Amino acid sequence: MIKILITGAGGQLGSVLTKELQQKFGEQNVIATDLFEKPNFIGHFEQLDATNYKAMEKIVTKNKITQIYHLAAILSAKGEENPLRTWDINMKSLFNVLEISRLNGVDKVFYPSSIAVFGDKIERENTPQNPNLTPTTVYGISKSSGENWGNYYFEKYGLDVRSLRYPGVIGYQSLPGGGTTDYAVDIYHKAVKKEKFSCFLEEDTILPMIFMEDAIRATLELMDAPKERISIRTSYNLAGMSFNPKEIFEAIKKIYPDFEISYKPDFRQKIASSWPQSINDTNARVDWGWKPVYNLNTMSKIMIQKLEEKYK
């Protein structure tokens, strides 16, 4: 019997993943947790600060949890406001998940990593799986350390920790908060609301991105893969598509010819400039059959159609 706990269930990815897991495993078998319950949430919700060991342990034991999806974290841009607090929250919550899992019979853990683990000392095109990681943000440092802690718990205790290095995730269902790739979601909302868009990155800043549907499918496929197929216990590179602000603007302009953009790069430009432009995800393809479906144009059509329904 699979019983799932999700931390950060109210976040951009967490809110969509929670629904998918509810559909797959049954609403009663998914316990969504976060600092606050979202209005209109349907299912089993428990309020949880993931840095609180005792509170997390209580939910895990009471509900006989067998899998944890640990999505709670402070992201790249927000994390720079208070680096030590970001480190503390991101690492404390991860240690809680790993220790509680090992001591309470949880069989599988999902830990999201990020393209933020790569620094500016790498090949920025087709970035390989195992370059020297020199992250430039505290979020990236916490994720690269977290990947190694996941690997450590697998090697030392046999805990089945699995992880993906997500690119920027773009979806119509939820809003991101505090990331460097957030502009690529916001731009669609502005276009559909017939507002001008001010972009915090320069027009030629190429970043790896992925459509929410692909990101969710990658997560479920990784978690479903037979154990012997998982050769990487730090975190898998994962690619969807790559584009810059000018290209996404042009894709949207095909649908809204009057849409306007201006560029006002801020501190996030430096972060974006230190990240890869495209990702080599051969290991994910070979090990568990990963293949993205969406590109910039197919994603843009769906984003706009769904947001038009939302704002109607």
The residues carrying an active-site annotation are 139
* C-alpha–C-alpha distance, residues 242 and 260, integer Å: 21
The count of other CB atoms within 10 Å of the CB of residue 139 is: 28
Count of CB atoms within 10 A of residue 264's CB? 10
Strand partners, 50: none
Provide the minimum distance between the beta carbon of 121 and ligand AKB in the complex, in angstroms, as a whole number. 18
Residues of span 243-302 touching ligand AKB by CB under 6 A:
none
State which residue, 60 or 296, has the beta carbon closest to ligand AKB: 296
Q: 29 vs 142, which CB is nearer to ligand AKB? A: 142
According to the 3-state scheme, what is the secondary structure of 168-179? EEECCCCCCCCC
Tokens 């990487």, residue located: 232
* Interface characters, 167-196, with ligand AKB (x: CB under 6 A): -x----------xxx---------------
Residue 126 one-letter amino acid? N
Q: Minimum distance from CB of 179 to ligand AKB (Å)?
A: 3
Binding mask 89-118 for ligand AKB (x = CB under 6 A): -------------------------xxx--
Helical H runs in the chain?
Answer: 12-25, 53-62, 76-79, 83-103, 138-157, 183-192, 212-224, 245-253, 268-273, 282-288, 296-311
Give the contact letters, 132-171, x = binds to ligand AKB (CB under 6 A), - = no.
-------x--------------------------x-x---
Lay out the site mask for ligand AKB across 210-249 (x = CB under 6 A, - = otherwise). Answer: ----------------------------------------
Touching ligand AKB, residues 69-88 (CB under 6 A): 75-76
- Residue 27, helix vs strand vs coil: helix
**Min separation Cβ 21 and ligand AKB, Å:** 21
When the beta carbons of 8 and 179 are compared against ligand AKB, the nearer one is 179
Q: How many residues does the chain have?
A: 312
Nearest distance, CB of residue 132 and ligand AKB, angstroms: 19
Beta pairing, strands 108-114 & 67-70: parallel
**What is the bridge-based pairing of β-strands 241-243 and 207-211?**
antiparallel
Residue nearest to ligand AKB (CB): 179
Q: Which is nearer to ligand AKB, 181 or 274 (CB)?
A: 181
Q: Which is nearer to ligand AKB, 60 or 240 (CB)?
A: 240
Tell me the closest approach of the beta carbon of residue 272 to ligand AKB, in angstroms: 8
115: left (phi over 0), alpha (psi -120 to 50) or beta: alpha
Q: Taking Cα atoms as reference points, which of 296, 35, 306, 310 lies closest to residue 167?
A: 296
* Shortest spacing between CB 69 and ligand AKB, in angstroms: 16
Q: What is the spatial distance between Cα 312 and Cα 43, in angstroms, rounded to a whole number?
A: 27
Nearer of residues 13 and 100 to ligand AKB, judged by Cβ: 13
- The residue assigned the tokens 């005792």 is 54
Binding site for ligand AKB (CB under 6 A): 75-76, 114-116, 139, 166, 168, 179-181
